[in-house]
Structure 1
Amino acid sequence: MHCEAVRGPRTREGERVAVSSSGDSVSFRAAEVGMLRMPLLPHTMVEKTVAADVGLDPRDRRQAERYLTALTADERIREALAISSPSLDHALHTLFSGAPMKPAALRKLVLGATRYVLRAAGRPTPFGLMAGVAPVAFADEARVRVGDAHRGAVRPDGGWLLGLIRPWESDPEVLCKLRVVTNGLAFRRGGRWVLPFAPAPDESDVPTSRTEEVSVRGTPAVELALECAQRPRTAGEIVERLTAAYPAVGRPVVEGLLVGLVQQGFLLTELRPPLTRTDPLSYLRDVLTSLGESEKADTIARVAKLTEGCEAEPLGAGVSRWQAAMGELRSLYRHDRPLQVDVRMDAEVVLPREVLREAERAATALWRAAAKNESVRHLTEYHQAFMERYGTGQAVPLMDVLDPHTGLGPPASYEYPASERQLTPEAADRNAARDEVLTEWALSAIAAGQREIVLDDAALERLSGTVRRIPPVAAELCAHLTAPSPEDLERGEFSLVLSQTTGSATPGGMFGRFAYLLDDPEPVARLAREAAASACRPQAEPVLLDFQPMSGGAANVARVPAFWDRRLSAGCFPDTPPGVTVQGVADVALAADEQRLYVVDTATGQEIVPQSATVLNFAMAPAAVRLLREIPAMGRPVWSVWSWGALENAPHLPRVRYGRTILAAARWRLSEPALTDSTATDEVWGRALDAWRGRWNVPRQVSVGFSDRRVVLDLSAPLHRALLRRDLARGGELVVHETPEACGHGENWLCDDRGNPHRSELLIPVLPGHTAGTTARTADEAVPRPGSGTTGTVTLRPVGKDDRRHRSWFYGKLYTATAQQEEVLVDHLPRLLAALPNDGGRWFFIRYADPHPHLRLRFHGDPDLVWSRIAPTVLDWADDLHGQRLAGRMVVDTYEPETVRYGGPEAIDAAERFFHHDSLSVIEQLTRLASGADTTATGVLVAAHYVDLVRQVHGEDWPDWFLAMPRDDEHHPFFRKHRSTALGLLVEGALDVSSRAARAQALRDFPAASRRAVLASVLHMHHNRLAGVRRDAELRSLAVARGMAATERDRRRNHR
């Protein structure tokens, strides 16, 4: 057995954890920049809540007041509550003022205050004054100091600020001085202009319903206003243009029109602070001052003075100042939490570089052990849909692609606007082999009564062998560093306990919003740029994605310094400081290669890679913004924490250790009916909890919650048990984990000046040991059709208005099982073709599965002939097949030629002639295979046709085209097996099909500019017709064709 399931936690004094030899071969390199996230209070506060809980009745007024007085005696707690939970702070004031409170309200207050204190003592995620951050350096020796001079950086809440400035934007006197620009995310549909989402109200942190959109009638005046604002100019200039164009309309009416366009989001003003400005108040003050709006500029200056006053107070000494400041801000605009604060902890942390080395080993182990996870599924399927519609080498304007009528619409799962695309069901057994290994290990550990599985290199190799590996990508590793002391860190006596949540998919994302707190933010900027470069192909350029969140509150986590000088502005007023290049969404297009979608500059064809160093949840962003943000992750797997696969819902799972790293803490699922029964008395429920703990050997202290929203609870303390039961009542079931201290070495290495230990979470960026441009493609990355996807060779092909020539085409989808398709094509399709009018019209077919297998049949002719004779004949034929149980339904659809994919309008006729002759060639080839006249393996025949087609385009240089892709080691053995047969097909005339010459001529009839660009798509569709839609079969054929090319190259070298 390649793992140990016989050891308990090896964290006791005097016991050393052996470091795996895997450190000699790692796939990652850790950047020498880190960040520590730590709660405000020492971890000892958890024990204080337990001690104070003895005999406490939270419904008793006197006991509750005594408990809460002691609990909140630290002024830092009162201050933190005032900021993070004004309602809880108000309830405390009510209690301490002597006002009456009902027992239920007392209990709720006690539980709520206890939970906040536990959060401030145990949860490292920054939130108000509850937790903050400190930079981490790395050297040969450890150096650790934690003081109490923590510093809060105070800014207005984004929702409050938006609520303040919206009325100013709607004031015609102010608006006419402001520069405005047309929102690039708006588009015209019929006679209306549409914005495909509804921004959130000012007080909300989330957008409104995903089904909402905003529209306005496209009157001539609206058209002129939006046309004038294509580039930033003052609203006053636009008013002048409109009043000149419509002199009969008064100026107030025109100003009202512009105010409406601003309020609805069609016009964007410069008054909203860009996310790249980390001091939004200074930005606003400067803009208002430049407009001559001195009164409003003074209001902003007063707000800035209030925030500076809060910052000047030491933490815990400014409760009254905070409350006064929030009261004054609420008088300007009513908002529950008008201020937002980030905390720079008073901590100096220098860690030994061996921590970085262990992080590299941990990241490598986690990567090798990961489940098969090629990429984000909705993007993978969107990429496939893009390829089917547009092919490779063609760039389509972004907004055209997102249009559901002329393009693809938004990807599945997008909500703003709601996508109508549906994800296809995921294969249930994609990780079956991995699940079997994990099940064996977990059950062996549980049967032996052990809490820990110890992996070694052999175990990792066994787990890694269950899925095909793909190259690693950059990420942020989140871990709890545990050690008895700083000196133990230097001696290597530490553990990394990986968190139950990952960092940002882009290193620097979790650092970005805190960069403004650092004395020197340049290391974070370098990290973001280096991480972006590691994911970019050669000649691709990272660009900053600048946008406006759909809710004001989202700006609190999205406000990040600009790390790139080139920017892509999407749905926001463009921020253009000196030396910065800004483009809009109208200036970019989407293109595809075989692995991914990518973004190109429409003017140059250069690939650009949108970047955003933030952890904002882009699922709540407009479709264009979300797609631009997600596209750089195309073709890359999603970084994730340890996954138990099919065992995720097991009642208990053991700890998993690799070297000095805990890849997964032991965990238990609270889902037993007795524990989720809301009708049980506290006494009955408590007995059920104790029985559950005894049955599964659950420790006294556990970490409870989901993702990074967790608190440490003591399951022996009544108040903590009440908190647990309340959480169960809200969520139905919970997962509890052992604490980092229980499975590591404790966190006494991070003690404050009083010797109190603090919990923490360490963020370490890890970068791949390669760049995107040098990583060989693997068989798992999709079908590598050679010659495609070369950045800089795309051609911009907007969707034309003449793409739907449906009247001259009959298009039917014949639903028939894959196993019957050859029979239909060989035995029955020729009968149909013989029955059709012999007017020389072209036809072709392809195979498809969306999601059910079918044949797509398309017949061309004079419109009258198509609908009077061809359509009835095809439908009668389909009815006959249905009667013979060879086919299901026939669906008549609209034929939309893939004009973009096959070289544009000037090439589509040649493409359709090629499809016609290729279909004839395939039918003839399939007939010979079915009769036994040809016994060549289908994959070899496809490869021979590949070679024949590439020869028509590249002549004697055809081998170079196939050799441009790396050898596919997984499928190359198929070539070796059929080498002799394949090479025999290289002889001229070996492919004896009657339509070969006509097919070759049709390919040569493509315009020269597009002939080579469409070749990959032509080959792909030939495989589709001859062999079907299976990806692995296409990979085999490509491997054979490449093997034939390599042999031909070697033959020529030997005969020189």
Structure 2
Amino acid sequence: MLMDNSKRGGAAGTGPFRLADPRFGLARLALLPDNDPGPATPTDPVVVEGMFLSSEVDADTAPDHADRRLATQRAFDIRARRRTTPQSVFAAVADVEFTDASPDLAIGTAHRVRTYPNPVWLHQVCDQVLDSTEVLRGLRFTANNLTARRGDRLEADLPSNDSLTKPQHASIRATEAVDVIMDACRASATWSRIATAIRHRWPHVPESVIDTALRQLVRSGIVVTDLTPPDACTDPISHVLDKLPDTEPLAKTLTRLRETLATADAHPPGDAARMTALKTAHRITDRLNKTWRPLCADTAAEARIRLPKEAADQIAQAAGVLWRIAPHTDPLSTWHERFLHRYGAGRLVPVLEACDLVTGLGHDPNEPAAPHYRASTDALARLLNDALTCGALEVQLDASVIDALDQRRPGDQAEPSAEIYTRIVVASSTASDGDFCFAVTNTASPAGSTRARFTGLVPDGPVVTDTGQDTMVTELAFRPLSFAVAALTGRAEPAPWRIPIGTVPRPGDLLPDDLAVISNGQRLGLWSIRHHRPVKAVHHNQLGHHLMPPLAGFLCRLSQHGTVAVRPWTWGPFESAAFTPRVRFGNVILAPARWRLPEDLRQAAKGRTPWDAALKRWRTSTRPALPITVVVEDTDRHLPLDLDRDDDRELFRRYVSRGVAAVTEPPGGPQAIQAVVPGAAGRHALEIVVPLAAIAQPEPVTPLYSASVRCPCDGAFLPGGPWLSLAIDAPPSTQDAVLARITHAATDVADLWKRWFWLRYDTPQRGPHLRIRFHGDPATLGGQLLPILGQTCAALTTEGLSSGFGIETYHQETERYGGPGAIELVEDVFHHDAHLTARLLSSHPSANDRLAVAAVSAAEIARIVADGDRAALTPYRLDRAARHVQGRLRPRARAFDDTTPLHPPLWEDRAAALKIYRAFLPPQRRVNCASSLIHMHANRLLGDNNRERIARALAADLIARTTP
């Protein structure tokens, strides 16, 4: 039976996740039963086959390497019996069902294997056949949409042959001939079409010259072909053979390799006939191209895995707890801020323009993880201290503890979908059969990404249908940055649309140059220019963003922007503690107990003689005591080792000498029964991948004004034009003084400009500064006004008020303020608001007075532009301290609102400009435009987003009391 959360202190209530379509789930099983064979037991044929496929050390290794062979055999035997991560023939995958019935688990022996060439090997073979003229002329060629033009050169990145080496940067000169070829390849072209285009310009060019040019472009990554299989796992040899003529010498050898692999796959793992075929296939691959581990394999288990829906519900609740207590990370927060500074809210910016490394913002977020909140850190410290004080191996999370650990902020939304990896164990040998405990091992997103790798081996998952109106769900199709990990990409296409990135497009694909980035001021979004619909890009594969083309990784992050992901448990600042206890939520283990290795043990691992003594000392002295079986954490590999076995202790030493710094208890604890699936020779270890969907899905980000994209030069005013934009570096403490001096200087030469305004900024590049913008005649601005302002800024630097200034491009936020026809009207509002605010700063030095005046001003803007609609004043959600300030200042704000304000002419001038601007705006834009104006006024007067929220709340009160 399954335990209810209430029996072990689980918090009640519905979390942010529910079970997604179960067809996205997956079961992962160790292929051999968890029967310890003992040191003298012959190696299982499955382990022998796995070593042959996965290691340079196999069962036939020479006797002088016997120690190494035995250690490797032991490590692989453990993998095949106790690890559930699908790799070669050590572990397999199967469907998992969630039903209303009792658990039903079983595993047979008729397992199916899919064996295919290593993608590195196949890439090298494909490169070889490019030398064949007949092969080359039978291909289709497509310009790589990741190619960038820099001056007179074209640049692209070539995937590497291993996951540790960075992609190779390629650059070729963009000659006239190259331009002709690239133009011909924009929409995919045959050799004949390219040759026709070239001969149209150079009628007598030899065919061999065309061949040489195409080979160079393909091998540099500037042009891609259809020779590379789109799916590295499912019969890639047939794809290559379809591109080869019968006369190609390699075709016969590749055909034989395909037939030999089919013969091998007709037998289950470990079968002698399969091993014979694999050795033959290995010899064939070596004759064509010698590569380490030239063959790969995936295995589907003959298994029946049925679990109660209640199990999935408990795991979904545990995922909600992990979501609540994880630190908030936003890898695009700085990028988003830079986007708003450059382009503003509401503007559609082509994604290739926004992500350009030179002319745009790039696409590397480079954002560090956010630290734990102070309250959460204190709660973690109490948990750890309580466990250490009483020597407990476990801490339990109840509702009060979870509330103390909660790091979510108002408005945080869960990522749209995720999946959580969970080992299924039995709590102890005395527990009844089916009394399962669930141990979380990892998380990933989106739901279905793990299953996608095994497309063609297990039944396809569900397919999203397109309504023709809502968000376009698109699958990212790309080549990874390393051919070594191409097998992890799969070819699952549950989405109705594709975005090809650096690969061959298909008819109907969404191309990168059809996509635009947009922000609503709070979140980033993706938009299809051609279809006028929001776009959500997903990647159903197991690649990390660092192994994707940067644009693909950026689009993945973009589609999750504004949401919070589910992350595995972390002890935050205490992650390096000598011991951290097991963490339990109800029937789910969120983290195992973990022991950090002391430095003397790590040093002793360099030699066998000191190792045994150092390990014995640690085992007898450490508290809490180590279990007999510990799990070694080696990157993403978790290997259980029995410290009472000589061979396992030697394996432990080898892992520690390579850098392993910690061990954990087995999933569920030392008393848990690890193998739960009955089979003919014993029980097998089981892990399930549970697909989750967020209960509340984020709303798409849509354009505020127009779904059209304007030219990058529209609304961008470089120095020397009709706008002079200065950035004067100054901390907030001196900005008012700097502003007063600039205002005085500008007033003295009012005949040199037509209008001017200012605002406060803070960017990672410049830090805090003032942006001062003057509009007028270009010659006058640059020839007369700039020298005067330069002298003023020099004096500010001498007096210690500023560290300098710079001249910048002025980017108009056209979309944010109502479109092209409204931008000059709103700039007139900016001019009058800036003049009014400058006077208010000098006449209201008190921070409380400024806050009250800001509320009065916000109310006036909302009354004039938004017809008094209080929606223009949101958001103003306040915490307890802010509500206290609001209550204290409410009488002062009302008093200011009831009296004639200071500087009446300036208020009247701004009101007149606001009325003209409001008359131009369509009714549906008035609320958000008023909100933007309120924000800019608060920026000038308050310079603090937190105090702006208080001003908005006070303004809402002012409007409410005057509304009949």
TM-score (norm 2): 0.90
| 1:439 equivalent among 364, 367, 381 | 381
Matches of 2:961 and 2:67 in 1, distance apart? 81
Does the 8 Å CA contact 1:434/1:466 hold for their aligned counterparts?
no
Matches of 2:893 and 2:246 in 1, distance apart? 80
Query: Is 1:184 aligned to 2:145, yes or no?
Result: yes
Deviation at 1:629, TM superposition (A): 2.0
1:873 is matched with 788
| 1:219 equivalent among 164, 175, 189 | 175
Query: Is 1:82 aligned to 2:37, yes or no?
Result: no
1:450 is matched with 392
1:392 is matched with 345
Deviations 1:828-870 (A, max 9, x none): 3333334546423433322222343222334455555445543
Deviation at 1:967, TM superposition (A): 6.1
2:191 is matched with 235
1:552 is matched with 483
Deviation at 1:302, TM superposition (A): 3.1
Change (3 A) 1:261 1:362: same
- The secondary structure found in structure 2 opposite 1:305 is helix
Matches of 1:426 and 1:704 in 2, distance apart? 26
Matches of 1:21 and 1:700 in 2, distance apart? 29
| Equivalent residue letter for 2:831 | H
| Equivalent residue letter for 2:335 | Y
2:541 is matched with 614
1:28 is matched with 17
2:85 is matched with 125
Deviation at 1:39, TM superposition (A): 2.0
Change (3 A) 1:849 1:15: closer
Deviation at 1:127, TM superposition (A): 1.1
2:506 is matched with 575
Change (3 A) 1:745 1:208: closer
1:945 is matched with 857
Alignment size in residue pairs? 947
Change (3 A) 1:897 1:791: closer
Matches of 2:887 and 2:574 in 1, distance apart? 40
Matches of 1:309 and 1:989 in 2, distance apart? 93
Q: What's the % identity of the aligned pairs? A: 26
Does the 8 Å CA contact 2:392/2:581 hold for their aligned counterparts?
yes
- The secondary structure found in structure 1 opposite 2:95 is strand
Matches of 1:213 and 1:134 in 2, distance apart? 40
Where in structure 2 are there 5+ consecutive unaligned residues? Answer: none
Matches of 2:950 and 2:674 in 1, distance apart? 54
Matches of 1:1047 and 1:226 in 2, distance apart? 66
Query: Is 1:525 aligned to 2:462, yes or no?
Result: yes
Does the 8 Å CA contact 1:974/1:1040 hold for their aligned counterparts?
no
- The secondary structure found in structure 2 opposite 1:563 is coil
- The secondary structure found in structure 2 opposite 1:43 is coil
Does the 8 Å CA contact 1:392/1:1014 hold for their aligned counterparts?
no
| 2:201 equivalent among 245, 267, 275 | 245
1:365 is matched with 321
| 1:406 equivalent among 335, 359, 368 | 359
Range that drifts further, 473-482 or 391-400? 473-482
Deviations 1:763-792 (A, max 9, x none): 111222223249xxxxxxxxxxxxx85689
What does 1:526-541 align with in structure 2 at a 5 Å threshold?
A: 526=463, 529=464, 539-541=470-472
Change (3 A) 1:681 1:299: closer
Deviations 1:500-525 (A, max 9, x none): x22x210111111123222x32xx22
Where in structure 1 are there 5+ consecutive unaligned residues? Answer: 1-10, 53-66, 414-422, 775-787
Change (3 A) 1:982 1:154: farther
Range that drifts further, 1003-1012 or 590-599? 1003-1012
Range that drifts further, 602-611 or 689-698? 689-698
Matches of 1:155 and 1:870 in 2, distance apart? 71
- The secondary structure found in structure 2 opposite 1:517 is coil
1:39 is matched with 30
Range that drifts further, 987-996 or 742-751? 987-996
Matches of 1:803 and 1:366 in 2, distance apart? 45
Query: Is 1:155 aligned to 2:116, yes or no?
Result: yes
1:62 is matched with none
| 1:725 equivalent among 650, 653, 665 | 653
| Equivalent residue letter for 1:408 | L
| Equivalent residue letter for 2:162 | D
Deviation at 1:256, TM superposition (A): 2.0
Deviation at 1:270, TM superposition (A): 2.0
Change (3 A) 1:21 1:628: closer
Deviation at 1:973, TM superposition (A): 6.7
| 1:589 equivalent among 503, 508, 516 | 516
Query: Is 1:350 aligned to 2:306, yes or no?
Result: yes
1:316 is matched with 270
Matches of 1:480 and 1:944 in 2, distance apart? 59
| Equivalent residue letter for 1:209 | K
Query: Is 1:193 aligned to 2:121, yes or no?
Result: no
What does 1:410-425 align with in structure 2 at a 5 Å threshold?
A: 410-413=363-366, 423=367
| Equivalent residue letter for 2:424 | L
Matches of 1:293 and 1:911 in 2, distance apart? 71
Matches of 2:539 and 2:107 in 1, distance apart? 32
Deviation at 1:246, TM superposition (A): 0.9
Change (3 A) 1:312 1:1044: farther
- The secondary structure found in structure 2 opposite 1:649 is coil
Query: Is 1:164 aligned to 2:92, yes or no?
Result: no
Deviations 1:42-71 (A, max 9, x none): 2233xx4xx52xxxxxxxxxxxxxx6xx45
Does the 8 Å CA contact 1:38/1:758 hold for their aligned counterparts?
yes
Change (3 A) 1:199 1:975: same
Change (3 A) 1:460 1:795: same
Change (3 A) 1:23 1:897: closer
| Equivalent residue letter for 1:363 | A
Change (3 A) 1:427 1:280: closer
What does 1:906-925 align with in structure 2 at a 5 Å threshold?
A: 910=825, 912-925=827-840
What does 1:1006-1045 align with in structure 2 at a 5 Å threshold?
A: 1017-1028=932-943, 1030-1042=944-956
Deviations 1:518-568 (A, max 9, x none): 2x32xx225xx49xx9xx999212112122223323221102222123222
1:270 is matched with 226
Q: Once superposed, what is the RMSD of the aligned Cα atoms?
A: 3.6
| Equivalent residue letter for 1:540 | T
Change (3 A) 1:236 1:794: same
Does the 8 Å CA contact 2:424/2:437 hold for their aligned counterparts?
yes
Deviations 1:751-772 (A, max 9, x none): 3222x23222221112222232
Deviation at 1:988, TM superposition (A): 10
| 1:815 equivalent among 729, 732, 738 | 729
Change (3 A) 1:941 1:132: farther
Range that drifts further, 160-169 or 479-488? 479-488
| Equivalent residue letter for 2:141 | V
2:664 is matched with 737
Does the 8 Å CA contact 2:105/2:677 hold for their aligned counterparts?
yes
Change (3 A) 1:1016 1:168: farther
Does the 8 Å CA contact 1:509/1:614 hold for their aligned counterparts?
yes
| Equivalent residue letter for 1:573 | V
Deviation at 1:401, TM superposition (A): 0.8
Change (3 A) 1:250 1:946: farther
Deviations 1:444-468 (A, max 9, x none): 2111111111222222223227865
Change (3 A) 1:544 1:426: closer
Deviation at 1:614, TM superposition (A): 0.8
Does the 8 Å CA contact 1:496/1:661 hold for their aligned counterparts?
yes
1:566 is matched with 497
Matches of 2:232 and 2:622 in 1, distance apart? 54
What does 1:461-476 align with in structure 2 at a 5 Å threshold?
A: 461-464=403-406, 470-473=412-415, 474-476=417-419
- The secondary structure found in structure 1 opposite 2:106 is strand
Does the 8 Å CA contact 1:835/1:873 hold for their aligned counterparts?
no
Change (3 A) 1:686 1:296: closer
1:142 is matched with 103
